[in-house]
Amino acid sequence: MKISNPTPQRQLRAHRPERPAPRVLNSAEHHAWLARHLTDRDRWLCRMLFEHHVLTSTQIVDIAFPARRAANLRLHNLYRWGVVHRFQPHRSLGSHPMHYVLDTAGAAAIAYEDGLELKDLGYSREREVGRAFSLQLAHTVGCNALFTTLIRAARQPDAAGKLTTWWSAARCGRHWGDIVTPDGYGRWREAGREIEWFVEFDFGTETLSRLASKLVRYERLADTTGIATPVLAWFPTAAREANARRALAEVLRGLASPARVPVATTSGESSADPLDMTASRWLRVDDSGALGRVALAELPKLWPHLPASPPSSGARNLDATRATRPRLEPPTPMPPAVSSRLNS
């Protein structure tokens, strides 16, 4: 299914009340029952929702299911069992896909699986359900779509690459937030090479001067970690991208070590699929016109001076002393193999 440009926040302001549905109690007996009925894919999906907060039904089909019907049937059961919660933002014309967040039984399942108490996760049902009214909802869903589109591409039979790491803004903030908080961090493996990047997902709600000023903090992060990581900035329109590139280039020229802050941009109008990160759409900010737009796997061509990314590791630049409570490891972005176990 072709994905359209992400929905602006102004179209998600009002929400249609959903029809009441029978829910089961989150009792110890119910959790024991779930232990026998949740598949590996169910548990993985719970971890993805815990990490990335909200995923639409379309995104869940992209990352985990062979078809929409199979996804809808399974998600309906997970909703009835209290594993996930769902809401559908109101739209004047047409309808938005259902949006899913982690519910209490799902959070308990992954906590117990890791030998933790639910309270250790810092999980709050009120906060998760409240995402339906968050002013950041459109931004979160749009940024997540950049990565779920990568997973969809990697799941194709003829896929050339694979998404090996996807960190949420919240995880990035826990590790680098005292310097800068990217909207996401990812790693893509293709043709024996692994590429890493930070994402800045712009929806036109932030001033370009404020966005460009983040490059100063990315330079400080590179100095602190000793790693120059490409920053990929996505903009909704070509006009917005052009204006942003001028602001970004001006800040880059003022940095002490601009080579330590590699930046490339794209817009939703740069490719047939606005959210396909693998397409030839990334343009280096200080490009002289010789290279033009390149695909994700070709990013090293833009900055040949950068060393190859080391193999993916769950411990990249982590400072465990900063954690205030036990944390789940980031889930692998690719879904587990579907077992022959019944999904009912």
Query: Where among 86, 119, 134 does a domain terminate?
Result: 134
CB atoms within 10 A of CB 190: 17
Whether residue 326 is contained in a domain is answered as no
**Would you state the pLDDT for residue 300?**
94
Are 93 and 47 found together in one domain? yes
- The answer to whether residue 71 sits within a structural domain is yes
Q: Which of 90, 111, 134 is the last residue of a domain?
A: 134
Which of the four pLDDT bands, split at 50, 70 and 90, describes residue 343? very low
- Indicate if 262 and 151 belong to the same structural domain: yes
The reply to whether 337 falls in a domain is: no
Indicate which CATH number applies to the domain containing 59.
1.10.10.10
274 and 141 in one domain?
Answer: yes
Q: Please tell me whether residues 39 and 164 are part of one structural domain.
A: no
Categorize the per-residue pLDDT at 288 as very low, low, confident or very high, splitting at 50, 70 and 90. Answer: low
What range does the domain containing 130 cover?
Answer: 19-134
Tell me the pLDDT of the chain averaged across its residues: 88
Assign 289 a pLDDT band (cuts: 50, 70, 90).
Answer: low
pLDDT over threshold 60, residue 21? no
Could you tell me if residue 286 is inside a domain?
yes
pLDDT at residue 22 in the model: 43
Regarding whether 160 and 92 lie in a shared domain, the answer is no
Asked if residue 196 and residue 214 are part of one domain, the reply reads yes
Asked if residue 143 and residue 116 are part of one domain, the reply reads: no
How large is the average pLDDT for residues 283-290?
81
User: For position 16, what pLDDT does the model report?
Assistant: 47
**Mean per-residue pLDDT, 186-200:** 96
Within a domain: 40: yes
Evaluate whether residue 339 is within a structural domain.
no
CA distance 289 to 292: 6
Does residue 344 sit within a domain?
no
C-beta atoms surrounding 177 within 10 Å:
14
Do 101 and 153 fall into the same domain? no
Range scoring the smallest mean pLDDT among 8-12, 144-148, 199-203, 312-316: 312-316
Same domain assignment for residues 169 and 93 = no
User: Is 0.75 surpassed by the pTM of this model?
Assistant: yes
* Contact between 170 and 144 (Cβ < 8 Å): no
